[in-house]
Each structure stands twice: as structure tokens, then as C-alpha cells.
């Protein structure tokens, strides 16, 4: 169990709800969620398929707007920010591991890992070395020149994990990042994410069905 300083709030959700409207019908994706995540905290989100885990992660990262409630990240309300400020906040302070990777097919593995820095226009030799080191930590040092289409599902997931931490984000949001991995690789990837969180003094929020991973987190919330 990790120790957490409760005064050191990084992310705060206040009565957040998400309701989609589909063909005139309301779909309640997320019911009134309030929570706080501190720097250094590792939070697991569990729950059955369709319980709103991905929706919650997208709202936490400013990728979707809540229907009601407020999301504060690093002290700012992301629900009421301009699109450009929200994009900048995401680029500078967040790392995201999407459930379905979202690697760019025309770029090789190393370029995909460097993408958050390339789009921010801050990619130096040092950054490239860091990306290579991360690829080595996730066991892909021999795949840097491969295109995503040449990789297995688990390898693509590991590239996405390296990409999520390359910019030393304050918060990493990972949506079932070990879903396609065997136990050994899942544990290794989880420890890479934990090490990076510690190194960057950041928080990690991880959607997972893996009880061993949830047990390694400081807190678990279960959606129903
Ligand atoms: N863009 C959308 N439009 C309408 N309904 C959606 C949309 N995205 C998700 N949902 C619905 O919201 C609920 C929660 O989805 P999701 O967050 O993906 O769940 P989980 O990640 O826990 O499997 C599901 O019932 C899903 O069908
Ligand atoms: Mg999901």
C-alpha cells in the first residue's frame, strides 16, 4: 500500500454524471461520481463491462464533457476551460493509454512513443534516448522501426504504455492497459507505470479487471 497525502489534490470530481442521448433515448453512462486523487496516488477503477469506466476516464482527462458536475485538474475546472487550454493541459500534464491503443499506423514504434513530444515541438536527442529506454523497459527495444501493423496486440499495447509516460505527465489515465497481456507481461507493465509515477511524482488511474493489479493500487473504486 502506498502512502498518500490527502492535502495534495491533483484531480477532483464533484457529482459528475454523463448521460448520452441516442435516438431520443437517454443512456446513463455515469451516475454521480465524486472523488479526489492526490499526487502519488494509484487508483484502480473496476466494474463490469458497460458500467462507465472508459467514460469516467475520458471525463477525467477532458476528452469528454460531463453532463453535470465539475472536474478539477491541477486546480483548474476542465469543464469550463476553452478547448485550446484543455488541449494544452492534456498535452503537457496528461498521459493516456486508450483501451484500443490508437497508435498512428503510418509512424514507426519509436515515432509513436515520441508523438506527444513531436506534437508539442519539443523532441531532442535526450527525449529520443528516453523513448528508447522506455521501449526497452516494456521489452520492445528490438521493435523501434516496426510499424504498428507489424506488431501483436500486446506489443501495440506496450507501445501505447511507453507513449503515455514519455512526456513525464502529472497524471496517467490507463484504460485496461494490461487487457491483452499475459500475467508476466501485465505485471512488468504495471511496474513500469508505477516506477514512472514515482519518478514523476505523478498519479496513476488504471481501469483493470486484474485483481493482482488492483491490489497493488492505493485505492480501488468499483462502478456498478
Ligand atoms: N458515445 C456514446 N453514445 C452513447 N452511449 C454510449 C457512448 N459511449 C458509451 N456509451 C454507453 O455508456 C455506457 C458506459 O460505457 P463505457 O464507459 O464504455 O463502459 P465500460 O468502459 O465500463 O465498459 C455503456 O452502456 C455504453 O453503451
Ligand atoms: Mg471500457
Instruction: For residue range 144-180, list pLDDT tens digits in order.
Output: 999 999 999 889 999 999 999 999 999 999 999 998 8
Residues 189 and 213: their CA atoms lie apart, in Å, by 10
Cα dist from 121 to 26, 95, 96, 166, whole Å: 41, 17, 19, 14
Q: Which of 16, 50, 51, 206 to mutate to test the pocket of ligand 1 (most atoms within 8 A of CB)?
A: 50
Beta strands in the chain (DSSP E): 9-22, 25-38, 42-46, 68-73, 76-77, 94-97, 171-175, 203-207, 219-222
Provide the 3-class DSSP secondary structure of residue 109. helix
Q: Is 160 exposed, middle or buried (0-12, 13-18, 19+ CB in 10 A)?
A: buried
Supply 70's cell numbers.
Answer: 465539475
- DSSP helix, strand, coil percent of the chain (3-state; round to 5): 40, 25, 35
| pLDDT band of 124, cuts 50, 70, 90 | confident
Cell 459528475, residue located: 16
DSSP string, 40-73: T-EEEEE--TTSSHHHHHHHHTTSS--SEEEEEE
User: Using CA positions, which residue lies closest to atom 1 of ligand 1?
Assistant: 20
| % of the chain with per-residue pLDDT over 90 | 75
Distances (CA, A) of 137 to 14, 116, 207: 37, 19, 21
The predicted structure's pLDDT at residue 7: 58
Average pLDDT of 194-206? 94
CB half-sphere exposure, 101, CA atoms < 13 A? 22
Measured CA to CA in angstroms, residue 1 lies from 43, 59, 82, 99, 209 at distances of: 11, 27, 37, 26, 19
Atom 4 of ligand 1, residue of closest alpha carbon: 20
The reported pTM is: 0.92
Query: Of all protein residues, whose CA lies closest to atom 8 belonging to ligand 1?
Result: 55
- Residues measured by CB to lie within 5 Å of ligand 2, the ion: 53-54
Q: Does domain 9-222 have CATH number 3.40.50.10540?
A: no
**Residue 123 and residue 207: Cα distance in Å, rounded?**
30
Q: Whole-number mean pLDDT of the chain?
A: 92
Q: Where do the domains of the chain lie?
A: 9-222
Q: Which residue has the cell 506489443?
A: 155
* Residue 34: per-residue pLDDT: 96
Amino acid at each position: 500500500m502506498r502512502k498518500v497525502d490527502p492535502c495534495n489534490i491533483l484531480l477532483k470530481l464533484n457529482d459528475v454524471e454523463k448521460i448520452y442521448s441516442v435516438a431520443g433515448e437517454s443512456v446513463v453512462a455515469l451516475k454521480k461520481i465524486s472523488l479526489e486523487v492526490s499526487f502519488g496516488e494509484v487508483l484502480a477503477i473496476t466494474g463490469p463491462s458497460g458500467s462507465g469506466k472508459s467514460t469516467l476516464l475520458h471525463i477525467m482527462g477532458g476528452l469528454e464533457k460531463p453532463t453535470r458536475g465539475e472536474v478539477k485538474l491541477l486546480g483548474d475546472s476542465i469543464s469550463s476551460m476553452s478547448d485550446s487550454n484543455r488541449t494544452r493541459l492534456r498535452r503537457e500534464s496528461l498521459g493516456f493509454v486508450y483501451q484500443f491503443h490508437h497508435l498512428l499506423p503510418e509512424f514507426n514504434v519509436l515515432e509513436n512513443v515520441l508523438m506527444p513530444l513531436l506534437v508539442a515541438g519539443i523532441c531532442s536527442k535526450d527525449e529520443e534516448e528516453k523513448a528508447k529506454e522506455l521501449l526497452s523497459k516494456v521489452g520492445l527495444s528490438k521493435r523501434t522501426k516496426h510499424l504498428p501493423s507489424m506488431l501483436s496486440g500486446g506489443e501495440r499495447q506496450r507501445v501505447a504504455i511507453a507513449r503515455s509516460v514519455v512526456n513525464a505527465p502529472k497524471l496517467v489515465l490507463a484504460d485496461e492497459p494490461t487487457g491483452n497481456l499475459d500475467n508476466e507481461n501485465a505485471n512488468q507493465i504495471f511496474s513500469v507505470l508505477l516506477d514512472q509515477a514515482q519518478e514523476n511524482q505523478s498519479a496513476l488511474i488504471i481501469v483493470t479487471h486484474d485483481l493482482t493489479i488492483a491490489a497493488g493500487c492505493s485505492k480501488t473504486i468499483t462502478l456498478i
